[in-house]
Amino acid sequence: MLLVCLAAVVPYLPTINDYFVRDDFGVVWLLAQKPWSYFPRWFVSSWMDGIWGFTPDEIRPFPAITYQVAALWGAASPVANHLMNVALHAGNGLLVLAIARVVAGLGLVGATCAALVFVLLPSQAESVAWVTGRVDSMPAFFYLAAFLLYALWRQRGDARLYQASVAIFFVALFTKQNAITFGPALVLYDLVIGRRPLQPSLAWVRPYAPFALLTIGYLALRFALFGEVARESQLSAANLEYFFSLVERHLRRMMFGDVSYGSPALWILVVLLVAVLLRAAPRVTLFFGVAWWVLGVAPVLVAVYESPRHIYLASLAWAMLIGLALDTASRRRALYRAAGVAAALVLAVYSWQLVKAVGEWDARERVSRKAVFELQREALAAPPGALIIAAAPVQSWEWALPFVLRPPFVSTPLEPRVSVITPQLLHCCRSEWESFTRETMRSWLGRTGRPPVIAVRWDAERGALFRKTEREEPYLRALVEVIVQTDSAAALDRAILNLVNRLPAAEQ
């Protein structure tokens, strides 16, 4: 347990003080200011209040309240949020250890290896190093805890374990919608691992009834609130084709650490590994390797975009297969040492890849902090009414504006003092970006007193500032007059990007 916790925590220690990035700004800005009495309303409404220009079909009261708790230590500080993320990751590692040991029946070495693989997979970095990544590690915690308690109830017959499983499943449902796969997971567990005969009777169905009723009620609530049960409008031939391509990329990311890795030899090795395990431990391999992956990745079908955090829960399947392989090989004296060396090599490779992945997040967040500070400095130093054209790296600031202009991220609201426009990907509301940007430029051009225009950009590597003002380059005003006349959103976006990408480096 200590080893698993260390493996889950130590690689992420550099992120504890890392700044907010991307969606973090909107999520923290919105939720940190909500009163505690708001909590019950999140059970019957979207937790995001439409701040992205649309209403997300996400009922997530339990993740929402974690941002209120973190704000007790100061909403402007990311430390409490990062500590929560790392603690959840360590908790999930311990749950994987318990499931591998007690439910799957792996030996101590194999179970420990499975848990270590789970916490060290580089694909987990997004869920842990990024504050908003908690929306996948947190539901995984409750999903795994409810599953473990259910399995223990099957083994021990203690009704309190069953009741606790039902209660925690309720929390999982209202943490993220992918928990709706939990009921099928229990049925498959009983059929495959528990060898429970399939019988068309009330007694056979009874253990699943509370989970089914909660799921049905939750889906009915989603339909009442959003007009859809589970984003079924996303089901199309094109999205189905995209889903299969995503699954293949997620497999590469999970097993090999990167979507660009995966030679034919590695794929053959994986197939051989699964084939050997199916023969050595068919039930454990079928459920924890195959069925768990299928159920874990199924929600990606309606996600319609790619994100490594979407396979956080599903990655237990790969971790369990590696742990099972070590457990199977270590029982044979001739293979014991070779299996140990192979497992150590796998863990070493994942650790190296994880350090690299965490370093990338660390860099994004470092640039984001620098950009927020320097944009605030520019806005406060500029004459009132100035127009600032700002562009930070997408990896750091996607969806971030206008929230970075507001407390708690700046000491005083910047929006009343200056106008800020950005490339489209940095704005919170894609559908509203064009009209907002054109209106802002026209309003600035029509101001009396000719307030200046300032263009700033930060690079993705070091956060170096590139800057030019109208005083230094009078053509900037003429460029704004031309840009506002572009005939489409795409042309407007290209024009803004062309302007900021030509900026010279600022004097330090």
Average pLDDT by consecutive 10-residue portion of the chain (508 residues)?
97 95 96 93 93 91 96 94 97 98 95 97 96 96 98 95 97 96 96 90 93 96 92 83 90 91 88 91 94 93 87 96 92 80 93 96 95 95 93 95 95 92 94 94 88 92 89 86 92 93 73
Q: Which of 391, 348, 384, 364 is nearest to 495 (CA)?
A: 391
Amino acid at 461: E
Give the per-residue pLDDT at 507.
Answer: 54
Nearest-angstrom CA–CA distance, 444 and 452: 9
Nearest-angstrom CA–CA distance, 226 and 484: 36
Give the per-residue pLDDT at 508.
Answer: 47
Query: What ranges make up the beta strands (E) of 238-290?
Result: none
Alpha helices (H) along 382-461: 394-397, 430-445
Measured N-to-C along each axis, helices 264-280 and 316-330 cross at an angle, to the nearest 10 degrees, of 60
* Cis preceding linkage at 35, omega within 30: no
Bridge pairing between strands 465-469 and 453-458: antiparallel
Q: Which of 9, 2, 21, 12 is nearest to 463 (CA)?
A: 21
466: Cβ–Cβ under 8 A, 6 or more apart, which residues? Answer: 456, 457, 458, 459, 500, 503, 504, 505, 506
**Residue 362, helix vs strand vs coil:** helix
Nearest-angstrom CA–CA distance, 323 and 327: 6
Residue for token pair 């999520």 = 27
Contact (CB, 8 A) for 357 and 309: no
- In the sheet with 453-458, reading across from the earlier edge strand, the strands are 419-421, 387-391, 453-458, 465-469
Two tokens, residue 356? 């690299």
Q: Which of 97, 125, 102 is nearest to 113 (CA)?
A: 97
Contact (CB, 8 A) for 52 and 30: no
Give the per-residue pLDDT at 506.
Answer: 67
Nearest-angstrom CA–CA distance, 312 and 457: 34
Give the per-residue pLDDT at 114.
Answer: 97
- Nearest 10 degrees: Cα torsion 403, 408, 409, 410: 100
Give the per-residue pLDDT at 389.
Answer: 95
Q: Which of 507, 393, 410 is nearest to 461 (CA)?
A: 393
Measured N-to-C along each axis, helices 333-381 and 108-120 cross at an angle, to the nearest 10 degrees, of 20
**Domain boundaries of the chain, sorted by first residue:** 2-233, 363-501
> What's the Cα-to-Cα distance from 265 to each of 248, 269, 272, 277, 325, rounded to whole Å?
16, 6, 11, 18, 18
Q: What's the longest Cα–Cα distance across the chain?
A: 86
Two tokens, residue 163? 């009741």
Q: How far is CA 481 from the centre of its chain?
A: 40
Contact (CB, 8 A) for 341 and 165: no
Q: How far is CA 506 from the centre of its chain?
A: 34
End-to-end CA distance of the chain: 49
Nearest-angstrom CA–CA distance, 6 and 466: 41
Nearest-angstrom CA–CA distance, 33 and 72: 11
264: Cβ–Cβ under 8 A, 6 or more apart, which residues? Answer: none
